[in-house]
């Protein structure tokens, strides 16, 4: 196979995998850290545990009181 075609396939597969993880609530910690360092250098990125807790709170937490799901 053409090396360029293989590379494009790998890229598409990686994007598909990331999309699937985001759909089930598994955001990309490495991407978060890279974004924070690039766009907000004055901030210290959250630890992985803090990041997971924050994302769970944002998805399931108390932002909508009285709602069970």
For residues 68 and 57, the model is more confident at 57
Q: What is the pTM of this model?
A: 0.61
Q: What share of the chain is helix, strand, coil (3-state, %, to 5)?
A: 65, 0, 35
CA angle 45, 46, 47 (to 5 degrees): 120
Residue 54 lies in a domain: yes
Domain count for the chain, please give it: 1
**How high is the pLDDT of residue 24?**
80
Residue 7 lies in a domain: yes
Q: Are 67 and 61 in contact (CB under 8 A)?
A: no
Range of the domain at 53: 3-60
Residue 30 lies in a domain: yes
**How high is the pLDDT of residue 47?**
96
Instruction: Tell whether the model's pLDDT for residue 56 goes beyond 60.
Output: yes
pLDDT tens-digit map of 10-54: 999 999 988 888 888 778 899 899 999 999 999 999 999 999 888
Residue 47 lies in a domain: yes
Residue 65 lies in a domain: no
């Amino acid at each position: 196979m053409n090396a360029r075609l293989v590379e494009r396939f790998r890229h598409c597969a990686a994007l598909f995998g990331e999309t699937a993880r985001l759909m089930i609530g598994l955001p990309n910690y490495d991407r978060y850290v890279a974004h924070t360092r690039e766009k907000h250098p004055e901030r210290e990125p959250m630890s992985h545990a803090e990041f997971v807790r924050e994302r769970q709170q944002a998805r399931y937490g108390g932002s909508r009181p009285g709602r069970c799901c």
